[in-house]
Amino acid sequence: MNERAGVSIAILSSSLGGLAAVATRFIVEVADPVTIAAFRFGGGALLLLPIAFLAGCRWPPRRDWPGTALLGLMFFALFFIVYNLALAYTTVARATLALSTLPLLTMLVAAMLRAEPLTAR
Amino acid sequence: MLIAMGGVALALLTGLGGAPDGAWRGDLLMAGGTLAMAFYNVWSRPFIARSSPLGFVTASMAAGGGALVLAAFARGGFDVLPAFGMPQWLAAAYLGALGGAAAFYLWILALRLTTPTRVASTMAVNPLAASAGAALVLGEPFGLNVLVGIVAVFLGIWIASTTAGSQAA
């Protein structure tokens, strides 16, 4: 049940993310990749912070703060600057298709870090 | 996964003729950038387990987003705001609310419920949504090659997702 729910939720997330590429194309002629990413994740964080506080969610413990911050910088900053830069050179369809190499890379990274076994599927 | 990746390769290679000049640069940038996302998918799971999906995504997004805002200010990136018209403001609102907050909360929630590889396999939906949206809104071409590639990646998702539960990490 959790597996199906997880996949369904991830599909919804990926759909919203795919449409973000369309939105990015409206701005990429006017703003630079860093500024576009700042709108997306600076704006996103501003929206999530009050929701998270009101929801009383469990925050990362102090010992996880450095790792959480580094992961945030690596993903939300570095990756999306590259993503927005790419959309200045290529079409939305091609850019997001290239992004589809993610499953293979994740599988290989997970196997390398022994987080998931490699299977025939 | 190989079926899904083959579909991607087929769509990209057969669509090269219709791509803008220099598109290969964008393709390479995207391919290189996904490696960072792959590591994020795997490394973030223990952090999520020790906190919560909402707590982790908010904290990590605040770190990355905060750095981006500072960098944008330092580079004068926000000086372009007077040039924004309604399409740009609507796009920025979508990016922050749905492309940022909603999309990544859902992604982290999914990582809590299933394996990183299964979550990542749904990224194949990304080009379908993007291509359909781009065709409707931007008038970008949506060729048969893209459709064939997307069918292949959906087949790959289905195969990767329909396994015994004991294979989940």
Contacts of B151 in chain A (CB under 8 A): none
Contacts of B137 in chain A (CB under 8 A): 22
Collapsed DSSP state (helix, strand, coil) of residue B169: coil
pLDDT (tens place) for every residue of chain A, 121 residues total: 688 888 889 999 989 988 988 898 888 888 888 899 899 999 999 999 999 999 999 999 999 999 999 999 988 888 878 877 887 787 776 776 767 677 777 777 878 877 666 665 5
What confidence category does residue B5 fall into, taking pLDDT thresholds of 50, 70 and 90? low
pTM above 0.90, yes or no: no
Please indicate whether, in this complex, the C-beta atoms of B63 and A69 are within 8 angstroms of each other. Answer: yes
**Conformation bin of residue A114: beta by default, left when phi > 0, alpha when psi is -120 to 50:** left
- Calculate mean pLDDT across residues B111-120: 84
User: How confident is the model over B14-54, as pLDDT tens digits?
Assistant: 655 566 677 778 878 887 788 888 888 888 889 999 999 89
Type of residue at B74: A
Question: What distance in Å separates the CA atoms of residue A86 and residue B18, rounded to the nearest whole number?
Answer: 17
Which of B88 and B8 is assigned the larger pLDDT?
B88
Q: What is the ipTM of this complex?
A: 0.79
